[in-house]
Amino acid sequence: MTQTCPDTRTDSAASVLRHWLLTVALVLSMGTLTFSAQEVQEETQPPQNETTAQEQPQEETIAPPIGEEDIQKAMEAAPKGRLAIRVVQGTEGGDPIGEIVVHLSLLHRGSLVDSRDLTTDDHGVVIVDDIMAAMEVWPQISVEYAGCTYQTGAEDPIGPQNPEGTLTLTVFDVTAEQPDWGVMMMHIFVDEMDGGLVVRQTAVVENPSDHTWLGDLSEAESHEGHNHPEGEVEQAPNAPTARFTFPAAATDIQLEGGFHGWCCTERVEDTLIVRMPMMPGQSMFSFAYRIPVSDEKVSLTFGASAAMASAVVLLPDAGFNVTPVGLQKDAERPMGDRMFHMYTAKDVAAGARVGVSLAGLMSDGGSADTTKKLASGRNVILIVAGLLVVFAFVGLVFRRSA
């Protein structure tokens, strides 16, 4: 059940970045030596009057090129950081972790600068004390356990101001028995865009057990990824776990937080199927899509394959004629410089759909009663997306699987 995705960074780009970073480290480590050499040169040269200096200009000094040997010396001389890694068992009564291989990746500004495989001791602990800390790097670790890949990343970087860090990764025993999982929250954020509407759908899923659920193994067969951003088709033999429904007219689906990619996600008509193991605790899934508008009407309903404790729809104050479907109108909420109407529901049954029907829209995405345009709407979406990203990092840092 282990899933992997190819690294989208090119080897050449990573090599160039790594060379640049090491060059910076070399410059930092040689700074004192260069300064001292300049002082000696100034002290040993005889004084010259202005006339002599003008008549005899000094030749420009060209620094020798930096070679691989210099870079290696800079790496050895650069400040070192220290990272303590611990892998722990999260299943009650499960076997102790013992020795296990940990893959460590170090990223700078989102690009890989170093990676290595480490082996923990009998207690699942390994200390790395040679991390180059001349610049900030963000550690990420991954472990394969019981057929699943678990991964997490540091909230804070290791660098000159923070040379030490710790990472704890919790792994779990697996089960084929479906837990009593549910959707704690389903949020739908709607705004106007050229040619229709843009929707961001976010679900917070909770697995209350202490086992990783492998999914419905009766459906664990190769599937074809749909609506892949690159137009490619990927195959993966993963069993389905969560299913989220959305308007059938949705186009341009973009997977965001919580998804591993189209390698383990499938669209079937109006349903998005998650085909990867479900971790214990809470996990957030977020995706966005467009809804074209051609006849001034649109129906936006959504649901999940498990019961939803809370469902919320946020609509801009744009003059729409709104008919709730299984929802009650709640309050108005300011977001940025705009107002949004909130519609809510509690305890929605598994498989049921709730949402809104909108009328009075124009095909360019605006309503018949307003000329409000897209700039502020995009800003509000970015604000909401930023909050969701923060929640995703905090809530999933120990619980993401692939």
125 and 264 inside one domain = no
In a domain? residue 61? no
307 and 342 inside one domain = yes
234 and 280 inside one domain = yes
In a domain? residue 208? yes
What DSSP assignment string belongs to 100-137? -EEEEEEEETTEEEEEEEEE--TTSEEEEEEEE-SS-B
15 has a pLDDT exceeding 70: no
- What's residue 157's pLDDT? 94
201 and 317 inside one domain = yes
131 and 217 inside one domain = no
- What's residue 127's pLDDT? 97
**Parent domain of 80:** 68-171
What DSSP assignment string belongs to 43-84? HHSPP--HHHHHHSPPPPPPPPPP-HHHHHHHHHHS-EEEEE
- What's residue 201's pLDDT? 97
257 and 163 inside one domain = no
pLDDT in tens, 363-386: 544 443 333 333 333 444 444 444
Which residue, of 109, 137, 171, is where some domain finishes?
A: 171
146 and 241 inside one domain = no
In a domain? residue 218? yes
Residue whose C-alpha is closest to residue 82's, from 177, 202, 162, 185: 162
104 and 243 inside one domain = no
- What's residue 70's pLDDT? 63
86 and 158 inside one domain = yes
Highest mean pLDDT among 33-47, 159-173, 369-383: 159-173
- What's residue 402's pLDDT? 37
Kindly list the distances between the CA atom of residue 88 and the CA atoms of 99, 116, 139, in Å, as whole numbers in the listed order: 11, 20, 18
- What's residue 76's pLDDT? 67
pLDDT in tens, 194-244: 778 999 999 999 999 999 999 988 877 655 544 444 444 444 458 899 999
In a domain? residue 60? no
Which residue, of 171, 190, 214, is where some domain finishes?
A: 171
Alpha helices in 163-306 (DSSP H): none
Total domain count for the chain?
2
Other CB atoms closer than 10 Å to residue 10's CB: what's the count? 9
pLDDT in tens, 287-311: 999 998 877 788 999 999 999 999 9
What DSSP assignment string belongs to 302-368? EEESS-EEEEEEEEESS--EEEEES-EEEEEEEETTEEEEEEEEEEEPTT--EEEEEESB-TTS-BT
In a domain? residue 176? no
Highest mean pLDDT among 124-128, 217-221, 230-234, 261-265: 124-128
